[in-house]
Amino acid sequence: MAAMKKKGQILRIRGIGAQMNKTGRRNKLKELRRQSPDFCPEHPIYGKEPEEDCAQPSDPNELKKSPLEKWFTKQIFNDLFPKSNIGMGPHPCLPYSYESFIIAARYFPDFGASHPNKQFKADEHHKRDVAAFFAHALQETGENDASVYNNTDLTLEQAHECFYRGGFYNWFERGPNSSFLLPSSPGFSPQDGKRCTDEGQYCKDDPILNFWYPCNSDVETHSDQDYHKGCYFGRGALQLSWNYNYGLFQQFLLTKGIKVDLIENPNLVMTKMDPPLAMMASIWFYMTPQPPKPSMHQIVIGDWKPSSKNRRAGYQGAIFGPTSLIINNECGGEDSDEPGGPGESRRIKAFKWFCKYFKVPVGSERTLSCKGMLDGFDAVQHMYSWHPDWGNMWKSQSCDCAPAPYGGPLPYYDPKLYPHEFTKQNDRNRLRCVYSMYESPETFRLDESNSPCLKHKPKIRLTKTGIRG
């Protein structure tokens, strides 16, 4: 969470162009103040303003415009996020900008554009979807300056206007001055995330994950302290975390023809602009189911299958509450005071504010929280991931994989529960699983004596990514 401001605090500038003259600084301050509502207190700014010839976001695939662009404009983005990028505001050369947002959205054409039922009007579905994404981003990486509610110069509504315009503020977990990072590079530049302390590694280590997404073990020393390059702490608007999520996002990018090694260089999530990965990683995480969990997008638009108990409790259709269970297992409900605490309460209040901004209904008050859910997502029985087909390893034929009722790095998407864009990945993930058995049988404790199928090689060429060439 960003540092809190006390009433009357002077705007703090951290490193905005050490060579900038006084006139330049004054002009910069005026520009930043214009972006926020006039009544909002000055906010802290960290970082260094990009150079004039800085790299702007681009799309190597030159995808066509998303339906989202028909209604969501640059004016709206800049109005909502004047404090983004650790206070500097929207800028095309920084991780958070309208330009990056729309390029990222083109890879997810259903985002802000789906209306699978008549529970809400089409445009209401679209705007609620975007409102939910922004609400979670505010909790994860917002400025979250609660001191505006203690400012006696502001009405409650004005305090809301200032507080909820604090989204897309932080780049790194624990930002803007992250204790995970080198003290001399604490997070005031996107490049600062290249190394981290032990605490920021977020590396899950097990034999199967080590085959698919082995953490970078490189270390460098600064001031007699070791720092790691394999750092998978939270980055981006929804804080992409852990090596397996970096690996899954990397695989998604590869299916789009974008070759990037996020396991070796995880900070590319913050620095790569062709395409802009900070925004893409966040929308990917919002849009992608991870069995047994549907995607947050599916929940908000009502394209999910709840258990019978949850349906009886009213948890069905296009609602917001279960999305908090998906993103961070938070089901504490909404606080009565303002702005309330972090966690689910902040997500709910932010969703309400963004829905009000977009002039769309929030839906049932009760289902804004997940605390009334009677079942978890695993109550809907189905298979979650691909694993060796243990029951047929003895056969005199090539080994195969089958869906299993537990998690793993190769998702299985049940066609009864997940959209076609995901179920069509099943065959590729099955073949990747088969590849892993032949390439590294010791990972699964297999050999030709306990698994005779290993003597029979597949008749097709397999690859680790499932993509040839």
Q: Which residues are catalytic?
A: 140
Confirm if 241 and 285 have CB atoms less than 8 A apart.
no
Q: CA-to-CA distance for 383 and 387, rounded, in angstroms? A: 11
Confirm if 285 and 245 have CB atoms less than 8 A apart.
yes
- Write out the two tokens for 53: 């010839």
Backbone angles phi, psi at 163, to 5 degrees: -70, -50
Backbone angles phi, psi at 411, to 5 degrees: -65, 145
Pick the closest to residue 406 from 433, 427, 392, 386 (CA basis).
386
The 3-state secondary structure of the chain reads: CCCCCCCCCCCCECCCCCCCCHHHHHHHHHHHHHHCCCCCCCCCECCCCCCCCCCCCCCCCCCCCCHHHHCCCHHHHHHHCCCCCCCCCCCCCCCCCHHHHHHHHHCCCCCCCCCCCCCCCHHHHHHHHHHHHHHHHHHHHCCCCHHHHHCCCCCHHHHHHHHCCCCCCCCECCCCCCCCCCCCCCCCCHHHHHCECHHHCCCCCCHHHHHHCCCCCCEEEECCEEEECCCCCCECCCCECCHHHHHHHHHHHHHCCCCCCCCCCCCHHHHCECCEHHHHHHHHHHHCCECCECCHHHHHHCCCCCCHHHHHCCCCCCCCCHHHHHHHCCCCCCCCCCCCCCCHHHHHHHHHHHHHHHCCCCCCCHHHCCCCCCCCHHHCCCCCEEEECHHHCCCCCCCCEEEECCCCCCECCCCCCCCHHHHCCHHHHHHHHHHHHHHCHHHHCCCCCCCHHHHCCCCCCCCCCCCCC
